[in-house]
Structure 1
Amino acid sequence: MSNLEQEKKYKKIITLLSVIIPLAVAALFGVNLRKLGFNVEPLTFLPPIYATINGLTAIVLIAAVVAIKNGNRKLHEQLNTFAIGCSLLFLLLYIAYHMTSDSTKFGGEGTIKYIYYFILITHIILSIIVIPFVLTTFMRAKLGNFPQHKKIAKFTFPLWLYVAITGVVVYVMISPYYA
């Protein structure tokens, strides 16, 4: 199978995942197992863990760029694969938290409230938008289509980095309001 045929096949999978992941997160976000009568402990210890994972993702993404700029393609690939794993782990922990715990309301007033919601909304929107970018960038590298990989990576990196960093910022801003 040629690279073009493989890319077409993977694009279908990427499109499917880019739709299913946000829909699944949105659906599961609205499900609270405790409110449905399940006897589960709230996983209130998870937010600092998944915020740390977001911070680690940001560091790993920067290290991946440094690695490729230094000509270390293997390390670059390993770091990006690890970053994808971190993002997946973040997502699983985030869903687990929201399925077992009540949502925390931001308690800030005035300008800080608008700043928080701006960061939160852009974080959420870009976390959805970045999914096909990450998967396409990764797929192009795996298929050895490095010119196209490099072309899309210029957009993927800053989007993904923004999502990772703002995930930490959102946590820091809302953490005083956790019960």
Structure 2
Amino acid sequence: MSSIENPSEEKKYNKWIVILSIAIPVVVAVLFTVKIPNVEPLSFLPPIYATINAITALVLAIALWAIKQRKQKLHENLMKFAITLSVAFLAMYVAYHMTSDSTKFGGEGAIKYVYYFVLLTHILLSIVIIPFVLITYVRAITNNFERHKKIARITFPLWLYVAITGVIVYIMISPYYIH
């Protein structure tokens, strides 16, 4: 990761962290209300973006192992890949919802409450994780490794939870998709 020693550069990153942390959830929420007319629903996307979530979880686990093995360059590359996967997931997720109606969960009884708990925590933490990932990344690229490690201890389990619960939500709702 490159070294950035200018404090004003770090402040510039902080502004971008705030902007992105607000803009991404707002843009996603707005795009959820947009339906592209006369477009074939992208119904093939949910298993793809669920797989991307699974790969993200695996990449995060390997990245943790890499840094514990002091393989810093491997860790860096894996984390950049995890961020890229998350961006790809988000793009596909939004594209799917802009072309398809939302799928209603059809389970009943206790499983319905489990599904909605997992879904709600997944959605809320997917919003919360944005500034955590960005701050963790900025601290790494500015070589502030002590502070990076400190926040990474929070970021890692949250991000891993979001990735894993994304797969769980897909598995639980997939029987109810209209094909």
TM-score by length of 2: 0.96
Unaligned runs of 5+ in 1: none
Aligned residue number for residue 161 of structure 1: 160
| Paired AA for residue 134 in structure 1 | V
| Paired AA for residue 15 in structure 2 | K
Q: Matches of 1:80 and 1:131 in 2, distance apart?
A: 14
Question: How many residues of Structure 1 are paired with residues of Structure 2 in the alignment?
Answer: 175
Unaligned runs of 5+ in 2: none
Please say if residues 50 and 166 of structure 2, whose CA atoms lie closer than 8 Å, have aligned partners that are also in contact.
yes
Aligned residue number for residue 32 of structure 2: 29
Aligned residue number for residue 9 of structure 1: 12
Q: Matches of 2:25 and 2:71 in 1, distance apart?
A: 33
Aligned residue number for residue 64 of structure 1: 63
CA positional deviation for 1:87: 0.1
Pick from 11, 15, 19: which aligns with 2:22? 19
Question: What percentage of aligned pairs have identical amino acids?
Answer: 66
Please say if residues 5 and 142 of structure 2, whose CA atoms lie closer than 8 Å, have aligned partners that are also in contact.
no
Aligned residue number for residue 86 of structure 1: 85
CA positional deviation for 1:165: 0.2
Which structure ranks higher in relative contact order (CA pairs < 8 Å, sequence separation ≥ 6)?
2
Give every structure 1 segment of 4 or more consecutive aligned residues whose post-TM-superposition deviation is greater than 6 Å: none
Q: Matches of 1:19 and 1:73 in 2, distance apart?
A: 30
| Cα-to-partner distance string for 1:43-89 (whole Å, 9 max, x where unaligned) | 00000000000000000000000000000000000000000000000
Q: Tell me the C-alpha RMSD between the 2 structures.
A: 0.9
Q: Matches of 1:89 and 1:52 in 2, distance apart?
A: 11
